[in-house]
Structure 1
């Protein structure tokens, strides 16, 4: 027996006794709440009980803080660099919210009004589906519980149910929610439309996950995604927000979520001291330094719909030039030439101290005079119409039923917002983008007659939903984890031509195409001693190679971040698409809860 087994078995009796006291987390009624015998009697009490479930939604930082391969931060997450270990406990294997949901559903019958009860039961079942969706994404098979269990119930340590079974039970819950949740629009409360958006999200995820991971039954899931997404597009009161000069930017910088497109948001309010840190996250030099990966910058199309990466010199194009005539979302997501923060007249160039790649993020950044530098109080979007539109197009493409009209009612509406041409399905399939199908910069697993249009829809999804918390699990469902092993690059700079020996420097335009314009901000990159004199007299910012960043070829090339030579990354195709089960859970169940494939926890069962 392995040493780790002996340690666990020595502790087993103690852990089991502790479990008797705490494993009833699935049935304990919160001590600070009213007893069920005197509660759940009316709408106010049902509303109060279900309000507690909203806490399971992600905070804003979990969205704009995504740091997989499209946005690179100073410290990469363990899942990306391949350094995850099996936790003893925790690790996402938490059931507190489920306990509360099931307890509520067992006692809501005390309310004598069936219409009220069905509405709030619908909200509770929405949250149970949401809860299990997060568990399935992370662990695959998980035990399904739809009732509060007494502390001596054997099911507390039952084996995991298959993801197929759990997904089916989730869809029963979400269909109930769609039927009974209110159909009015509310920014901060779950409605029928939120439930439809969640079903769209679940079915696209699971349908494509099964397709690319070889699990039977993907067709039915994609069909359900198509049905609910199509119904949402044609019958919901939501549409793509397109007002103003920069509607994409404004959608995320607005203090109050824009109800035309936003289905559900998390409310932030500086007056109530409820804030997040989007401004600080993107502007500080000590908070991750998020920068867009060069491969994503390259994937933004030209304004006429042609591919930037079809240009012969795209790999060696400097910042100012590469930003010209591109999809407007590029410079509404990262700092572009001539950038001025909202309600400011000061031109700012990218701050390399705040961005690992030089492509400094501005999505979610707000008015300088409003939120300033630290606390941000713009609402965080949880569900919006554009995602449902994207889900519809992708599901139809993966199912093989997509036609041009489907793109016209989905992708076109999104691109109309920023004046970009629609995807041409026939042209895309006739000439799939080699950049997006390349193993280093795209998706090598896409095949078949719809390869071209699937790649284009993935391009659109990546660009439209960047920094909204989708990327990691998109890569998981597409079975493209090897993406994380590829280089993370930033801006390109030609050879530093001025100076000599180790004291080299050059100046670069970042704003208007004219170097050293006294009214603009240009930069100097140097090695060795900081240059001085007439050549740099109007330079506003200096960056020393080796301090703020390195270039791929010494004195020239792309900014290189987390060089794989120095920081090797390893993605295991046979293991890493699922997280490991904590060892304590396996011990307490005496092995009935199995470990995920190829995660070796040292246990013999």
Structure 2
């Protein structure tokens, strides 16, 4: 992003480590005092540009590894290997201090309120985002809206503020940001629309977390769900954003492969540039073995509907359908997310099958993948969406479904716009509630009531549409469905030893063998029991991924992360999150 690339060194020093009090207690260097620095709008702009540093990197967006995308290694969150860290662990506050310093000092030299207003809005946006991420990770956290000094002992050593207090403050911040920020759309600057998109995201998360996590006795779930609806409605009514479309066979692919963020749909993006030598690595990530051979997990592949809107999982023995047949007549987004029969790279006509050297499940990722000219290490330069309009529409539909106020008209102006991009039929409210999908119900066990069917369908739509954009962890956490992460991850189905023509073009693509590896050139060879572990061994079955790695999720502990030991030693009033043993 241009703003990130052009930061002045004098602003960067504010990220320095803090003193012995732990966090938030180091004063800015004297050369950055408000009397000398905040003297013009240019100064306000320069300083607030530094806030953009917190925008996720490309790797933080596409490098998903919870249960949508499976790799040869597993995240600690799904193996039960998380421990209480000595330090770090996400308990960092430097960015907050920068924001609070600005809000406390921007007007010391009499800059006109009208001039400063949008920069105040920007600071409030980033403080809301900062605290939302902290609450999603830790629950209760200390709320600070001022710069602290070493003399502020009571504030430095105070207990965590209740989640309810913090989230009310977050809501006030994001509302203030919405009111102050401009309406000119931009994929690289935070605007009123970015703030509404963030509000929609925050309030959906908090409302559903409070609804499903009854163990925390958090009130006012509906308040936040209604705020999510309102933010989404405001965007839908006045922003001018739309769902990008070209043809059903390519529009979804093209949205993510576009070198420049598509302004019709993308609200804010992480920017990349060949001219400024700022690249990322998504092509290389998907075509080599260097990053764990990522691939879609079988349950997600099963969740894609048929092209006519019927359920793939209603087919007899759906988990025993071989690759070519299971890929026929599916939601077109599937063929624009992974390699399916007939797949070709952008700019090439050669048909490619899944490469098992690059995907552990057989469902090889193609979302975000661009032309072969960008296949070298760290040479991808397509922009990465951080907020896009499709998420806002999904937030709207989900919030209304959870409130019990969703209508068919609501679906038609939200979910149906997303489905229309790829030529999928409408999602029908009455039909969904009359016949809830048992396959999804087996995954999302907390959903009940008369709106069960439509809630499940909106979750399906969300997972399919937003895959590989790193929403999944927060979704599983807020829905209280952590048990999903402890289930065996699986991949493609093979009926046993033998030769397989994956795309039915008359050429053998994969051979599963025992004993000595065949010498015939051409196919990919997978040795049974090592390179291809099948559920039934010689009798075939789904690929088992990381079958020897134990997976677990502790229901009464793992929805929140632990507070680092060092922080609790520095501040005796910091309590630990439930059932995290740190010896203190």
Under a length normalisation based on structure 1, what TM-score does the superposition of the two structures give?
0.90
Q: What residue in structure 1 maps to residue 271 of structure 2?
A: 267
CA shift in 2, pair 1:289/1:30, >3 Å: farther
List structure 1 runs of 4+ shifted beyond 6 angstroms.
Answer: none
Distance 1:378 1:548 in 2: 33
* 2:511 is aligned with 1:524: yes
Unaligned runs of 5+ in 1: 1-17, 497-505
Q: Is residue 507 of structure 1 aligned with residue 499 of structure 2?
A: yes
- Alpha-carbon distance, 1:447 to partner: 0.3
Equivalent residue runs for 1:318-467 within 5 Å:
318-370=322-374, 372=376, 374-438=378-442, 442-467=443-468
In structure 2, distance between residues paired with 1:421 and 1:43: 51
What is the 5 A alignment of 1:197-216? 197-214=197-214, 215-216=218-219
Matched with 1:12 is none
The answer as to whether partners of 1:178 and 1:196 remain within 8 angstroms in 2 is yes
2:553 to 571, 581, 589: 571
Report the 3-state secondary structure (helix = DSSP H, G, I; strand = E; otherwise coil) of the residue aligned with 1:265: strand
Answer whether contact 1:26 1:96 (CA < 8 A) is retained. Answer: no
SS of match in other structure, 1:330: helix
Deviations 1:382-422 (A, max 9, x none): 00000000000000000011111100000000000000012
Q: Is the CA contact (8 Å cut-off) linking 2:232 and 2:396 kept in structure 1?
A: yes
1:499 is aligned to: none
Alignment deviations for residues 498-524 of structure 1 (CA, whole Å, 9 cap, x no partner): xxxxxxxx211212x2432xxxx6222
| Deviation (angstroms), 1:246 | 0.6
**Partner SS state of residue 542, structure 2:** strand
Counterpart Cα distance in 1 of 2:447 and 2:280:
38
Aligned residue among 533, 549, 552 for 2:535: 552
Q: Higher mean Cα deviation, 230-239 or 474-483?
A: 230-239
Contact 1:270/1:376 (CA < 8 Å) preserved in 2?
Answer: no
Partner of 2:38: 40
Question: Shift of the alpha carbon at 1:548?
Answer: 2.8
Name the residue aligned to 1:295: 299
Match for residue 493 of structure 2?
492
Q: 2:242 touches 2:389 (CA, 8 Å); kept in 1?
A: yes
Partner-residue secondary structure (3-state), 1:559? strand
1:124–1:392: structure 2 CA closer, same or farther, 3 Å change rule? same
**Contact 1:88–1:584 (8 Å) recurs in 2:** yes
5+ residue gaps, structure 2, are 1-16
Q: How far 1:229 moved relative to its partner?
A: 0.5
Matched residue SS, 1:560: strand
Partner of 2:238: 235
The yes-or-no answer on 1:314 pairing with 2:318 is yes
Do residues 100 (structure 1) and 83 (structure 2) align?
no
TM-score normalised by length of structure 2:
0.94
Structure 2 CA distance for partners of 1:26 and 1:57, relative to 1, 3 Å: farther
What is the deviation of 1:50? 0.5
**How many residues get paired?**
561
**Map of 1:113 onto structure 2:** 112
Would the aligned equivalents of 1:26 and 1:98 in 2 still touch at CA under 8 Å? Answer: no
Q: How does 1:121-270 map to 2 (within 5 A)?
A: 121-153=120-152, 154-214=154-214, 215-244=218-247, 245-270=249-274
The whole-number CA distance in structure 2 between the counterparts of 1:193 and 1:26 is: 34
SS state at 1:457 partner = helix
Paired position in structure 2 for 1:503: none
8 A contact 2:18–2:26 mirrored in 1: no
Q: How much has 1:543 moved relative to structure 2?
A: 2.4
3-state SS of the aligned residue for 1:25?
Answer: coil
Deviations 1:111-151 (A, max 9, x none): 52222211100000100000001100000000000000111
Tell me how far apart the structure 2 counterparts of residues 170 and 552 of structure 1 sit (CA, whole Å): 48
